[in-house]
Every structure is written in C-alpha cells, then in structure tokens.
Amino acid sequence: MLAALGRTVYVRRLIVVAGWVLVALAGAVFGGSVYDRTQVIDTLPAGAPATVAQDRLDALSPEGERLVAVISGRDVGATDLVTSVTRIAFEIRDLPGVAEVEDSYTTGSRTISRDNRSSLVTVELKPGLSDDEALRVADRVGAALRRIDAPEILIGGELIAEREFGDQAVRDAAVGESVALVCVGILLILVLGGLVAGLLPLAAALGAVTATLLALTGLARFLPVSDYAVNVVTLLGIGLAVDYSLLMIARFREERTADPRAPLAELLSRTVATAGRAVLVSGSAVTAALVGLFAFGDPLLSAMAMGGALVVALTTATGLTLVPALIAIAHRRIPATGGWRRPGRGPARERGPGVLARLAAFAQRRPGLVALTATAGLLVLSAPLFFVEFANSDVRALPRSSEARQTYEVVQNEFADPPKQPVTIVVEADPAGPVVQELFDTVRRLPGVSDLYARTDLPPGVSVADVVPSGAADGEQAQRLVASLRALDAPAPVLVAGPAAELLDAKRSVADRLPLALLIIVVATGALLFALTRSVVVPVKAIALNLLTLAATLGVLVAIFQWGWGASVLGFEPWGALDLTTPLLLFVFAFGLSMDYEVFLLARIKEEWDRRTVTDRAAGDRAVLAGITATGPVVTTAALAIGVVFLGFVLGELVAVKEIGVGMAVAVLLDVTVVRGLLLPATMSLLGRWNWWRPGASTTLPAPGVPVA
C-alpha cells in the first residue's frame, strides 16, 4: 500500500504540493485567529469535589472577578491623595459592571502597607459577566484607577493575570518558533549539504503547523482551546515534521545510491514503502501516547491531547505525501551526502561511522558494564524525584515584568495582613443551630487554621465559612487542612472549595487515573512495535527504556525548576514546585518522541537482521550495528534539530513553557546518547536472539547458512 502511495505521489507531485500550499496559505491567513478564540480552561475533571463545592457556592452567593490595585509612592495620609482616591472610587462605583469598591478612605476596609506608603483598592465586578465583558469592564476600571494622583499604581488580580498569561503565551510562541525555525534551518542546510535540501523539512513543518492552526481555529467554535495547548502543539509539530522529513530524505539518498539507474518513481516507491512505514508507525505511537491524556479527564489535558493528535496526524500526512512530492521535484538538488564541500575539490569524502554507531560499537564490546553503568547513571538523575512538589501554576509563573505578578508580590510582601485565598466550607445545616457552631469551633482548633469567618446573608438551611490557612493558600499545610476538613465526622454534609482543595483534587485525580493512562499508552505502543518487529521482547524493553528516560528527565527538572539549579542561566525564578501538568505532558511527548527514534532504529535493525545469516552473537551484533550505522545519522540530526526547537521555547518568559522546553531537550539528549547510543545496543547484544522472541518462535540460533525468519 505504501509503495503504491509513493508511486501516486510521484505521478501527482505538483497537485500534492499545490494542495499543501493552499492549506498552508489558508492556515497562515486564518489560523492565526485561533489565539483570539482561546479560553482559560479548568484543570479539574467534571465532578471533582472542589468543583462541586465551588458550584454550590456560586449558586448560594455568586461573586464576580476581583481587581486589586496598589496605590503607592507617597504618604497614605496626604490630603490630595485622599481626595483623588475618594473621587476615583466613587467614579468606579458608577461604572456599569462594577459591583463593589473597597478602599482605605471611603469604606471600613483600611489596608495600609507597613511603611504607610501604599494602600489597596479592591474592585469586585458583577457576577455573571462573560470573560470578554469582564475584561472590558476591567479595562475601564484600570483606566480610572490610573488617574489617581499617585507616583505608582499597580493593577492585578486573577482576571488580569489570566489575560497576561495568554498574551505572554502568544509572545513566547512567536519568539520560540522564529528562533527555532531559523536555527533549525541553518543546522539542516549544513547537515544536508544544500539550501534546498535543508529547507525541505522546514517546508513540511510549516505545512503541518499551519494546517493544525487552521483546524484548531475551526474546532475552537465548538470546543475549548487553550493558549498553552497552541504553544505545545506548534512545538511538537515542528519537531516531528523535521524528524519525518530527515528519515525520508536519508532513505531516498540511500535508495538512489544503491540503484542510481532506477526510475525516480521506483526510488520514491521504495522510500515510502520503507521509511514511510517507520513514519506511519511512529505517528501512530505518538498519537496513542496523546490519547492517553484523555484518560485523566482533565479539560486542559484533553484540549492539549486534541491539538496534539491533530498535529501528529497532519505531520504524518506531510511525511507521507508532501515530503515525497518535494523530493520528486527537487531530487537533483539533494546531494548524495550531507555536509559542505568546497567547489572544485571533487565529491565529498566518505564519512566514518556516526556518533551513534561509535557509541553502539563501544557498547557491544562491553555490553554488561555499559548497560549497568548507563542504567545507574539514569537512576542517579532520577533521584530528585523523591523530593518533587507539584502545584498549579499561578501568578508567580509570570515573568518579573508582569504587572499582575508585581501587584501580587507587593501585596504579599509589604502589607502586614495581605488578603488570602481561603479554604471555604459549605455545610448543609442552619447556621443558628448548635451543630454548626460546634463544627466551626472544631474547625478553629484544627492544625493549620489561622482564622475562620462565617458568612452571612445566605439562604436558610445552609452555612458557609472562610477558613484562612496558615502559610500559602495552596501549600502543603493548606492541603492537609483540606483533607482534615473532609475527614471531619460532621452531622451534615460538608463541601470544601478553594485553591488548596482544587490542587489536592487534581493530584488525586492524576494518581487515580494514571494506571489507566499508562495502560492505554503501553498497550497501544507495544502493539505497534510488535507489528513492526514481530517481537514481544523489543516492545517491553523499549517501553522500559522510555520510562527510565522520563524518570531521569523529571529528576533533572526538579533540580532546575524546583531547587533553582541554573535558574539564573535560564532566566527565571524558582517557585518551589513543578507545574502539575508538566510531568504528564513530558510523559506523553517524551514517550512519543523517544518512540520516534526507537522506531527509526528498530525498523532498520530488523531489516538488517532479517536479510542476514545470523549464526552467533557476533553476527547478531553486526546486524544491530549495521542498522544503527545506517539510521544513526538521521536520529542524531533529528535529535539536534528537535533539541533546538525545544530550546527555542526556553527563551520565552512563562515558567511552565520553559519546563516543557528544557524537559524535552533533556529527554532527547538522554534518549539519543545514553539510551539509543549505549543501552539499546548493549541490551540487544546481551539478549541476542531473545530480542526477537514471540510466542511459538524459536530462540535457538540457526545453523550456518540458514537465514533468520
């Protein structure tokens, strides 16, 4: 089937390229509007206890978005400052969409900084406003606040922080993609030995990414799409497109060198039949890994899985259609070997074995020692995972230049009693009854409780109290408090809401659903690898090595982003935790891309094994080494290219995006050097014929002269 596809693409190469050009143009014109349609997506699955509690609260006492302004730079008792704040506060109260204003001069809420140089103004918007309506009101409120006669005015709040997060995500994507494409383009031109050959993978990447943006724009009309998801999707699309293009170009070169007189249609047919099979299996494996995200039931992860599955499907399509069509058109401009050569100096010299081939040869000479040492090294890198802390990204994940973050930090650091996000409890019982009063007294005595405020003006038969936790609003102490509140032997149902409750529910949801996600990914990728290799051992070993790579990568991320090792070099400030979504996304993307390289190598190793006469371990090692030697340069170049792609996103300002960028770069580096270069050949050498075992298959080496089935 794939061979026939190769011939068809050759015959209709101009039509194929024209079709992708039209898609790319449409994506470039209309796809960018996806950023205007993105939404802030909840990170909790439907039915989570914290979500149920918040829904109940919203029904009992709906609250609008809150803006917080810090008025600073002069003595808070200055007459003209008092007059200015008072006048603006009354103006804001009259604005449509504003529910309430609290300040230190016109209300009883006097919030003054320790040095008497700053005060707070809190504005609550009316509940029920849509996101767009709330932002429009917030802009009008912000414009009014900035007319206060004060040297410095900072405006923040959750609504403002969410908008800044989205805007920063767009800027980070633009910077990351631009830098990545330029650097990858230069790298590919140098490695592939020509301008046309080097730009061909980038053409495929642009086609896949623009097509995905166009598809996401259409889906955004019906389903929620996140800014963060768009960032990750474009990053993944560029990396995969480069990988698949390199594999197809390398195989075409090889087929052309082996049979220079063969018709171009036949060469493309062979290329798509061989390399195309690896592309198809790899794309299916990455898609299977993405499908595993749906198992978590997290709306944000599901949105990313949807976008990721789209980009993988479209990238696979470009690898099987656009890339062969471009090769057919530009085949004369694709050098027989990569690298530059000076004019007039004759053909490029034959190169020696690549990096992977040299590593593999070393590993085969000492397989036991290499396997033990490499495994121990990865386990050492994994050790920081024992100390990992996870949290939901908040305003602290924004760059230092963010006004919302500056506002938050000033409020927390300069005010003696800054506003805190409480843990809110809802008790389905009358507040005047002794049962509720006894319950509230019990809550006040719980460890980690700083204060408790009972709410009033509620419908009869229900009680609500805000419990102020000691320490951070979603810290470990606050999470233990949530667990204690839910474990109370209360005479009436108790619901618990708040940031700590949401984080605790998110952690539990991940822990509960992780086995199902693992099962989906492991079974799907294992089945695909079995279909490729007809072996049971190879898929099991590949999955184990991928998990080892992931554990080492997460250990490195804990050291960098939680402990702050090298934070100044990467340009961020650690906030003591990793974003809860980071390990899940890394698991999927790193697992999928590692499977990319595994498929590339195994497909060729299996070819070499099947066509050789394997009589002993040495012959088996030669088959493995031949496969790695043939495909190793492709994997090495692909790893360099995709490493550059992910490192391009390290230049962004969002810490969560930096985590993914650094994590993927580390994962690719470890996978290509330690895992594919050392562990893969070492373990294959140790296992020998057992590598290809399957139920009913013999593991005894055949007699000399008998080819391996």
Query: Over the stretch 237-293, which tens digit does the pLDDT of each residue have?
Result: 888 888 899 889 988 998 899 888 899 999 999 999 988 888 898 888 888 878 887
* pLDDT of amino acid 698: 53
DSSP annotation string for 12-80: THHHHHHHHHHHHHHHHHHGGGHHHH-----SS-TT-HHHHHHHHHHHHS----EEEEEEESS-TT-HH
In a domain, 697, yes or no: no
Least confident stretch, 67-71, 561-565, 627-631: 627-631
Long-range contacts of 215-223 (CB under 8 A, 24+ apart): 215/310, 215/314, 216/31, 216/34, 216/307, 216/310, 217/30, 217/31, 217/33, 217/34, 217/37, 219/306, 219/310, 220/34, 220/37, 220/38, 221/37, 223/303, 223/306
443 lies in the same domain as 534: no
pLDDT per position as a tens digit, 635-689: 888 888 888 877 777 877 888 888 888 998 899 889 888 998 899 899 988 888 8
The reply to whether 549 and 651 lie within a common domain is: yes
Residue with tokens 């604005």: 95
Judge contact between 427 and 439, C-beta under 8 A. yes
Give whole-number Cα distances, 340 to 188, 401, 684, in Å: 11, 44, 35
pLDDT at residue 344, as a whole number: 41
pLDDT in tens, 142-189: 999 999 999 999 999 999 998 888 788 778 777 777 877 788 888 888
Here the tokens at position 360 are: 């593999």
Are 679 and 607 in a shared domain?
A: yes
Q: Based on the domain organization, do 672 and 524 belong to the same domain?
A: yes
The CA R_g of the chain, rounded to the nearest whole Å, is 30
Q: Is residue 58 in a domain?
A: no
Tell whether the model's pLDDT for residue 340 goes beyond 50: no
Task: Tell whether 243 and 367 lie within a shared domain.
Answer: yes
Task: Find the CATH number of the domain harbouring 470.
Answer: 3.30.70.1150
Let me know if residue 555 belongs to a domain.
yes
Of all residues in the chain, the percent with pLDDT exceeding 90 is 31
Q: Give the up-direction half-sphere exposure of residue 99: CA atoms within 13 A in the CB hemisphere.
A: 13
304 shares a domain with 174: yes
- 304 and 442 share one domain: no
Q: Does a structural domain hold residue 401?
A: no
Average pLDDT score, the chain: 85
Q: Are 664 and 586 in contact (CB under 8 A)?
A: yes
Supply the CATH number for residue 140's domain. Answer: 3.30.70.1320
Sequence-distant (6+) residues with CB within 8 A of 677 are 355, 356, 359, 360, 363
Which pLDDT band, with edges at 50, 70 and 90, does 495 fall under? Answer: very high
Distance (Å, whole) CA 394 – CA 657: 13
- Nearest residue to 362 (alpha-carbon basis) of 628, 691, 689, 616: 628
Contact 451, 400 (CB under 8 A): no
Are 515 and 654 members of one domain? yes
Does residue 709 register a pLDDT over 60?
no
Confidence band for 617, pLDDT divided at 50, 70 and 90: low
Q: Give the span between the Cα atoms of 330 and 238, in whole angstroms.
A: 21
Residue 579 DSSP symbol? E
Asked if residue 517 belongs to a domain, the reply is yes
pLDDT at 708 over 60: no
Out of 444-453, 523-532, 676-685, pick the least confident.
523-532
Out of 441, 470, 497, a domain closes at 497
In terms of domains, do 457 and 549 share one? no
pLDDT reported for residue 13: 92
Residue ranges making up the domain that contains 444: 422-497
CA 438, distance to chain mean position in Å, is: 46
Specify whether 438 is located in the same domain as 518. Answer: no
Average pLDDT over residues 378-396: 90
For the residues 428-441, what does the mean pLDDT come to?
86
Q: What is the dihedral of CA 677, 682, 685, 686, to 10 degrees?
A: -160
For the cut 80, the answer to whether the pLDDT of residue 312 exceeds it is yes
Residue 705, in any domain of the structure: no
Judged against a pLDDT cut of 70, whether residue 609 lies above it is answered with yes
Query: For residues 232 and 657, what is the distance between their CA atoms, to the nearest angstrom?
Result: 8
340 part of a folded domain? no
Q: How many domains does the chain have?
A: 3
The pair of three-digit structure tokens given for residue 682, joined into one six-digit string: 């070492």
Q: Which of 668, 699, 653, 683 is nearest to 176 (CA)?
A: 653
Domain shared by 488 and 628, yes or no: no
Question: CA 602, 272, 268, 323: dihedral to nearest 10 degrees?
Answer: -100
Of the ranges 340-349, 412-421, 560-569, 586-595, the best mean pLDDT one? 560-569
pLDDT at 389 over 80: yes
497, 530, 547: which is the final residue of a domain? Answer: 497
How far is residue 500's CA from residue 481's CA, in Å, rounded to a whole number? Answer: 9
In a domain, 408, yes or no: no
Could you give the count of Cα atoms lying within 13 Å of 116 in the half-sphere of its Cβ?
4
262 and 385 in a common domain = yes
**In the listed set 437, 469, 497, which residue is the last one of a domain according to the structure?**
497
Q: Among candidates 196, 505, 133, which has minimal Cα distance to 333?
A: 196
